Amino acid sequence: MKKKRRSTEDSRKWFRYQFFGSARVNISKEKAAVDMTIANISFSGMGLYADKPVGKGKKVQIQIAYVDRNGKICEDRTTGVVDWQKKFKTRYLIGVLFEEELNIDRQPNLIKHLIWLIDTFRWPQPYGDKRISVI
């Protein structure tokens, strides 16, 4: 049986941004929390680095913390599902899909910060389809 060859084309809907911050991830139904470092973020998910595995398919609540442009520590929350995890040496790389895309109503501070980063550093618009601009 032949293995399916993965396409090298990135089919993500939202652009991913390198993001400096931390995440406190609470694992549903386990009353366990894991502190992680954010690798990247998009409007539909995030990549994390962790010392412990979480488990693919686990529902999680995430408290995202970062320093804004004024030096203030800001936080916002979201929920998601662990889409994948992979061990890398002594750490784990973890991908989380948000249950709902980030939005100004539920994550106002984070959205404002991402908009500021996109505008300041002239990063690509968040939507993967270059024909559409949402910000």
Confidence band, pLDDT 50/70/90 cuts, at residue 12? low
- Report d(CA 54, CA 129) in Å as an integer: 31
Alpha helices in 22-75 (DSSP H): none
- Structural domains in the chain, CATH included, are 17-120 (2.40.10.220)
pLDDT tens-digit readout, 46-84: 999 999 999 999 999 999 999 999 999 999 999 999 999
58 — phi, psi (to 5°)?
-75, 140
85-103 pLDDT per residue, tens: 999 999 999 999 999 999 9
Give the helix ranges, DSSP H, for the chain: 108-120
- Cβ–Cβ under 8 Å, residues 40 and 19: yes
Q: What is the pTM of this model?
A: 0.84
